[in-house]
């Protein structure tokens, strides 16, 4: 197969959802349809259930699951699908944001009872930053959910994206009869079943056909005819280019646990979802069909065995062919790197592979050379952009509790930060170290892993900080002056970039007003 054919064959995506909307269930059904797994229950939820079990156990369990499910590859109708897993717990949202930089599109799951929830809103913001194409799956139609029109309105207003239903539900909850596929003009009747895999579909080019009344009852038939008229009247025809530009989200209705509507969505997905696209670097745009390899690291997993420092770095291939044992340029690194142990993840299995293509995700065994955001190329010095750190929400000062283990603590912190567990800021004055996270749970993870893997004891003391803002200015003199006068609040991030640590929102506003020549940024990339 030519490189171009390999690229056209691939679809790399993630499922995003608020916890409990049905991401794990949908993932499993997709794998079943793809023939990648044979039985339901094979995909483990990566949710952390802190309320019921010991946190440590749960965190370790979660780490195990997240390695196993990081990428689930499978083939469906000659298309190679790479499904990237995203952590379920909101405290690991940053990990999800980064995973979204490695995909070409997403499927968003919404619970028809709960509607658009907060985590979905946050994830959608990240998709919008990159204009990622989104397909929306409204789930749990076997329950008494909200009115479908309301749900669509809510998606549009809360998520800021236009929608175009491609299927329409007939009834809901106990009265759920099925969906009508507006795209293929097929009626898909619902029979609750967690086992059955194929949908029974009937073509109905003309909904006035009296047979429809017999199949779903006269009341439902009348309602469906009205709904379809309304939808076709209100919504413009579905334009696949608008979807590809991230402007419009096609919507499907179904019930993942009952295998209903999933097949339908998957068939449309492989037709419309984008194959790997060009990506920006600091130098130029890189096309996937370029013959020279390039890619970036978006995720790092430490080995679960504390006696081994090996890590798995996840590489997204952006162009050319990646080959095992070939030396590649580690941009920003000291020396070229070659990888003899290259893993590809296929559903529940992993295998060592010799080559991989744009859109593929491979796991590289690494002894500490790679960090998140690193670019690997076949020669050229360029760095993929669009993998920023976001300003954290919670800050704690790191306090060393074992002076004999200072080195271990520093090493542990450095490695955990490279893995992207949290962000470390070091104040200019007194070298005080502050860890910033998006959630409470990360501090527990860090503390536990520092002890368990590095034998270092650290405590985290609360700090009164509102935001870490990366600062820059066109006027170097002004910037120097700012850093001098605000030196108590100046810190450096892991790349030694200047960061202003603001204590409160109002104070930050005041400082911004007082220093119009200084730019304050809420992500590390500007």
Exposure b/e, 369-401, CB count within 10 A at least 16 = b? ebbbbbbbbbebebbbbebbbbbbbbbbebebe
Which residues ranging from 265 to 304 are in contact with ligand GDP (CB under 6 A)?
Answer: none
Residue 89 annotated as part of some ligand binding site: yes
For ligand GDP, which stretch binds (CB under 6 A), given 256-264, 341-349, 363-371, 456-464? 256-264
State which residue, 16 or 491, has the beta carbon closest to ligand GDP: 16
User: Which two three-digit tokens encode residue 158?
Assistant: 């809360």
- Residue 368 touches ligand GDP, criterion: CB under 6 A: no
Closest approach, Cβ 445 to ligand GDP, in A, equals 20
State which residue, 88 or 363, has the beta carbon closest to ligand GDP: 88
Q: Exposed, middle or buried, 122 (CB in 10 Å: 0-12/13-18/19+)?
A: middle
Residue 386 annotated as part of some ligand binding site: no
Determine the Cα–Cα distance for residues 215 and 189; give it in Å rounded to an integer: 9
Residue 139 annotated as part of some ligand binding site: yes
State which residue, 174 or 477, has the beta carbon closest to ligand GDP: 174
State which residue, 20 or 410, has the beta carbon closest to ligand GDP: 20
Determine the Cα–Cα distance for residues 226 and 100; give it in Å rounded to an integer: 38
Of 7, 126, 257, 441, the residue at the interface with ligand GDP (CB under 6 A) is 257
State which residue, 138 or 361, has the beta carbon closest to ligand GDP: 138
Of 3, 8, 9, 20, the residue at the interface with ligand GDP (CB under 6 A) is 20
| One character per residue 85-114, x = contact with ligand GDP (rule: CB under 6 A) | ---x--------------------------
State which residue, 89 or 467, has the beta carbon closest to ligand GDP: 89
Do the beta carbons of residue 138 and residue 252 sit within 8 Å? yes
- Residue 24 touches ligand GDP, criterion: CB under 6 A: yes
For ligand GDP, which stretch binds (CB under 6 A), given 251-259, 315-323, 338-346, 445-453? 251-259
Of 138, 216, 256, 458, the residue at the interface with ligand GDP (CB under 6 A) is 256
List Cα–Cα distances, 261 to 20, 113, 167, 201, in angstroms: 18, 17, 9, 11
Do the beta carbons of residue 119 and residue 93 sit within 8 Å? yes
Of 143, 201, 324, 521, the residue at the interface with ligand GDP (CB under 6 A) is 143
Q: 259 phi and psi, to 5 degrees?
A: 60, 25
Mode of pairing for the β-strands spanning 423-427 and 433-437: antiparallel
- 505 Cβ contact list (under 8 Å, min separation 6): 466, 467
Q: 160 phi and psi, to 5 degrees?
A: 65, 35
Closest approach, Cβ 21 to ligand GDP, in A, equals 5
Closest approach, Cβ 499 to ligand GDP, in A, equals 34
Closest approach, Cβ 108 to ligand GDP, in A, equals 11
State which residue, 257 or 413, has the beta carbon closest to ligand GDP: 257
Q: What is the 3 state secondary structure string of 319-363?
A: ECCEECCCCEEECCCCCCECCCCEEEEECCEEEECCEECCCCEEE
- Residue 47 touches ligand GDP, criterion: CB under 6 A: yes
State which residue, 20 or 153, has the beta carbon closest to ligand GDP: 20
Q: Exposed, middle or buried, 228 (CB in 10 Å: 0-12/13-18/19+)?
A: middle
State which residue, 194 or 506, has the beta carbon closest to ligand GDP: 194
For ligand GDP, which stretch binds (CB under 6 A), given 136-144, 307-315, 318-326, 421-429? 136-144
Length of the chain: 526
Determine the Cα–Cα distance for residues 322 and 320; give it in Å rounded to an integer: 7
Of 96, 99, 132, 139, the residue at the interface with ligand GDP (CB under 6 A) is 139
Element (H, E) at 264: helix 262-272
Residue positions forming the annotated binding site:
85-89, 139-142
Residue positions forming the annotated binding site for GTP:
85-89, 139-142
Which residues contribute to the site for ligand GDP (CB under 6 A)?
A: 17, 19-25, 45, 47, 88, 139-140, 142-143, 255-258
């Amino acid at each position: 197969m030519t490189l171009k054919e390999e690229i056209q064959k691939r679809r790399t995506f993630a499922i995003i959802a608020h916890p409990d909307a049905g991401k794990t269930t949908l993932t499993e059904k997709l794998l079943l349809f793809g023939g990648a797994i044979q039985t339901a229950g094979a995909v483990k939820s990566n949710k952390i259930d802190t309320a019921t079990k010991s946190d440590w156990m749960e965190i370790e369990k979660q780490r195990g699951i997240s390695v196993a499910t990081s990428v689930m590859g499978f083939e469906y109708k000659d298309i190679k699908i790479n499904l990237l897993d995203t952590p379920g717990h909101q405290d690991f949202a940053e990990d999800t944001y980064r995973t979204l930089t490695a995909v070409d599109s997403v499927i968003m799951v919404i619970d028809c009872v709960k509607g658009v929830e907060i985590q979905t809103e946050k994830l959608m913001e990240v998709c919008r930053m990159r204009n990622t194409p989104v397909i929306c799956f409204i789930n749990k139609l076997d329950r008494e959910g909200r009115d479908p029109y309301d749900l669509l309105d809510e998606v549009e207003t809360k998520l800021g994206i236009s929608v175009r239903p491609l299927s329409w539900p007939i009834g809901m909850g106990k009265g759920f009869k099925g969906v009508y596929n507006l795209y293929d003009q097929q009626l898909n009747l619902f029979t609750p079943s967690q086992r059955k895999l194929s949908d029974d579909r009937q073509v109905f080019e003309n909904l006035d056909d009296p047979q429809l009344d017999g199949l779903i009852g006269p009341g439902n038939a009348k309602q469906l005819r009205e709904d379809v008229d309304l939808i076709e009247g209100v919504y413009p025809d579905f334009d696949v280019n608008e979807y590809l530009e991230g402007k419009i989200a096609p919507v499907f209705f179904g019930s993942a646990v009952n295998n209903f509507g999933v097949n339908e969505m998957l068939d449309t997905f492989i037709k419309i979802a984008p194959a790997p696209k060009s990506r920006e670097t600091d130098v130029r745009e890189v096309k996937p069909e370029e013959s020279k390899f390039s890619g970036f690291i978006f995720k790092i997993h430490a080995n679960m065995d504390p006696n081994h420092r090996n890590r798995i770095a996840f590489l997204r291939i952006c162009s050319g062919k990646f080959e095992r044992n070939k030396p590649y340029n580690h941009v920003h690194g000291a020396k070229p790197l070659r990888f003899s142990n290259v893993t590809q993840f296929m559903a529940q299995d992993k295998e060592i592979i010799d080559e991989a293509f744009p859109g593929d995700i491979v796991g590289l065994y690494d002894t500490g050379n790679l960090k998140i955001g690193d670019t690997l190329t076949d020669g050229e010095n360029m760095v993929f952009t669009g993998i920023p750190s976001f300003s954290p929400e919670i800050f704690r000062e790191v306090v060393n509790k074992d002076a004999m283990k200072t080195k271990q603590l520093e090493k542990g912190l450095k490695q955990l930060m490279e893995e992207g567990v949290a962000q470390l800021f070091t104040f200019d004055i007194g070298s005080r170290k502050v860890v910033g996270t998006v959630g409470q749970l990360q501090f527990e993870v860090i503390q536990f892993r520092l002890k368990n893997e590095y034998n270092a004891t650290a405590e985290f003391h609360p700090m009164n900080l509102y935001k870490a803002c990366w600062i820059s200015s066109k006027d170097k003199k002004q910037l120097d002056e700012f850093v001098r006068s605000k030196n108590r609040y100046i810190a450096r991030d892991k790349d030694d970039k200047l960061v202003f640590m603001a204590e409160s929102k109002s104070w930050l506003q005041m400082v911004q007003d007082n220093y119009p020549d200084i730019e304050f940024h809420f992500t590390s990339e500007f």
